[in-house]
Amino acid sequence: MTTNTASSAPGNRRILLVEDEQTIADVVRDYLLKAGFQVDMAGDGFTALELAASRQPDLVILDRMLPGLDGVEVCRRLRQTMSVPVIMVTALGTEDDRILGLEMGADDYVTKPFSPRELVLRVKSVLRRSIKEFAPEPPVEAAGLELDPASRTVTHGGVPLALTVREFDLLAFMMRRPNQVFSREELIKAVWGWDFGDLSTVTVHVRRLREKIEANPTKPELLKTVWGVGYRFDSKRSDGVTMNVHGKGGEHGRQ
């Protein structure tokens, strides 16, 4: 799996814009260029995959409805080979449609019609979280999970996990705060940086994380639901044995 580790300055960041409506594509491209980003453009799904492989973008803005290969399938295929952040753009405003995009690995989504200025802000927000300019927090280990913020990697029993940007951030946030319960509203603000948003975004990402870190996702032992409240990362197994949650060198993860 590949990822681009360029500086987070806009001029060093390449955006792949995948949009078949030329008017919308031109407007979004102009806003991204004014913000200082480099921009590649594709008008269909197959071209998008080719450009993603050859240009190695730092982020993909992906229209849901595309000729040839739709955005959901493009996102799924990108996730098989790259860890690039994806912002899905959809004209379909139903919750099921948004959830489908998130389940295929999108990190964020925007519903048409949208403000190009808002989209640029979303791009900057996702990129800020994908590459940190400051010294990262120390690694965390818990129940066979080893999370390293410096390399943004997670292994489970020594096997690397393929996590999206938001999945990684959510897991890192919860692992550093074991046994604390967080509502979906609190997680939207802390992990996504939104003051408000569709709470199903959190639900989908929790479900996706469970599929990757739990022995039995239908009976989670690590990322648990506290009914009527939110979610909690347990630092104790069901047998009561405390997990080893710390940074390297024996340091405890920051709370």
- Strand stretches in the chain, DSSP E: 14-18, 38-42, 59-63, 86-90, 108-111, 140-142, 145-148, 153-156, 159-160, 181-182, 223-226, 230-233
Measured CA to CA in angstroms, residue 217 lies from 68, 209, 210, 224, 245 at distances of: 34, 9, 5, 10, 21
- Asked if residue 140 lies in contact with residue 172, where contact means CB atoms within 8 angstroms, the answer is yes
Q: Which residue has the higher pLDDT, 220 or 111?
A: 220
Residue 14's DSSP bridge partners are 38
Q: What is the pLDDT of residues 45-100, one digit of tens each?
A: 999 999 999 998 999 999 988 888 888 899 889 888 887 889 988 876 666 666 77
Q: What is the pLDDT of residues 167-196, one digit of tens each?
A: 898 999 999 888 899 999 999 888 877 766
Please report the pLDDT score of residue 247 as a whole number.
Answer: 39
Separation of alpha carbons 183 and 84, rounded Å: 28
Q: pTM for the full model?
A: 0.59
- Asked if residue 176 lies in contact with residue 142, where contact means CB atoms within 8 angstroms, the answer is no
Q: What is the pLDDT of residues 195-217, one digit of tens each?
A: 666 788 889 899 989 999 998 99
Separation of alpha carbons 117 and 28, rounded Å: 9
